[in-house]
Amino acid sequence: MEPSDAREPIDAERGRQLSLFRPLGYQRNSCGYCKSKDGSASYYASSLSVRPAHYEELVNRGWRRSGTLYYKQNLRRSCCPHYTMRLEVSAYKPRRDQRKAINRWNKFILGPEYIRRVAYLCPKTREEKKSRKCNFDLLSAVHGVEYSNVKRPVDPKTKRPLEPAHRFEVNIEGDAVSQAKFDLFLKYQTKIHKEDVSKWQTKDFKRFLCSGLKRTEPNATDGQRRLGSWHQCYRLDGKLIAVAVLDMMPNGVSSVYIFYDPDYEHWEFGKLSAMREIALAVEDGYQYYYMGYYIHSCQKMRYKGSFRPQYILDPESQTWDPLDGALTKALDAKPYVSLSQDRQCADTTKSSASADTETETETEAEAEINDVEVSLFDLHMPGVLTVDEVKRLNLENWALLVHGSFLHMDDLVGWEKMRVDDPQSVKGIIAELAATLGPVVVRNSAVVLFD
């Protein structure tokens, strides 16, 4: 936040432009991957109102959301580090297994009889056959079997238009709750993830997958892209069979979750949905596709790395490194990797042996810290501002929402006497939130603390 002497009140219009965050603090939880009891450590916040541009800033700082819960993992102190990944959609080249997956699905939708009859009634030229064999067109592969795009020439034998074996339709709609979505989600969670049916109620589903970012409809007049949280719904013969939950940000499409009918599990919906979402990003002019977190030690996550060119967010420098041989080799050797830190160590005059010894000593010392009882600033969490950097944000000017009215932090009684690095004080709680959100989001947000 830029220094300012002005203390102008926040009017309604300015208030509508702000994202709202409630700090929940740093916590340890069980790991859903290696099942360690308290192996995953993250900073958490919650919100019912986040603007897509602000969320994009957070994603590029290592954050993700699960419904209204927002979190940034401490990769250095977690058993299975979660790395943010993104793909440049204009450079995407599908691998053979990805092409095979979508071709299999397309043949299933059209059916052998339809394919045979269309080949007879609408034969392709030699050049068309050669081009199709040598070139894979992602957009054609994705959209060609959607019912509105399927060719239906009149069959001279029946005098009726040819119909594909199945009517396949995909549409994008708001992230609203429906009974069909909830029933499909319940079937997916119980069959695929083996969860107890009693774990999920409609309100839980709504909080998890239907309470997303502020939504904006696309506007062709001013070139406005679709923004916010959306559901991409797949229907087969009129029946809902899959829902991809997507966050549309100014420069990227972020995959939040996909759930599908387990009866269609063998069709590899993970690959199919990723290719369709990349195609969506290409068509609508987004630069990046975010596949969520990448966990190198989790075998089920490895397929994400096969979508290239893929980049991994460096947790220290918050720059992007290609997921290639160098980074993969480093991740094979140790769970926490920061190539920027490795390069910095390599540039020092210390020998590699002494550098390794120093790193091991630091790691052992930090392991003794009970990280849920100390200030976040004592943990050296990657991608988090230091105390001095937070002080330069002028936290006293940060907006505070109380019972529908906006105040400033220094309107709080005793604010000036509180310490930034005291995790038990209001200022300490606010400072930790600011340190994890970063300066851009702090400048464009307000804190909900007492409501």
CATH code assigned at 187: 3.40.630
Nearest-angstrom CA–CA distance, 413 and 418 = 10
On whether residue 25 sits in a domain, the answer given is no
How much is the pLDDT for 32? 85
Per-block average pLDDT, block size 10, for the chain (451 residues)? Answer: 56 90 95 88 95 98 96 96 97 95 97 95 83 86 97 92 97 96 97 93 94 85 87 98 97 97 96 97 96 91 91 97 93 95 76 50 58 87 96 94 92 94 94 98 94 76
286 in the same domain as 179 = yes
225 in the same domain as 247 = yes
| DSSP reduced 3-state for 366 | helix
How much is the pLDDT for 4? 42
On whether residue 222 sits in a domain, the answer given is yes
Domain that holds residue 101: 94-161
pTM higher than the cut 0.85: yes
H or E stretch covering 428: helix 426-437
285 in the same domain as 185 = yes
120, 137, 161 - which closes a domain? 161
280 in the same domain as 201 = yes
How much is the pLDDT for 366? 60
On whether residue 132 sits in a domain, the answer given is yes
CB 139 within 8 A of CB 101: no
208 in the same domain as 268 = yes
190 in the same domain as 286 = yes
264 in the same domain as 196 = yes
179 in the same domain as 141 = no
How much is the pLDDT for 127? 80
How much is the pLDDT for 238? 97
On whether residue 358 sits in a domain, the answer given is no
On whether residue 177 sits in a domain, the answer given is yes
115, 137, 161 - which closes a domain? 161
Nearest-angstrom CA–CA distance, 406 and 354 = 53
Which residue pairs, CB below 8 angstroms and at least 24 apart, start in 132-141? 136/94, 136/99, 138/92, 138/94, 138/275, 138/278, 138/279, 138/282, 139/279, 139/282, 139/283, 141/99, 141/102, 141/103, 141/106, 141/275
Best CA proximity match to 253, nearest among 293, 222, 226:
226
**What domain count does the chain have?**
2
268 in the same domain as 209 = yes
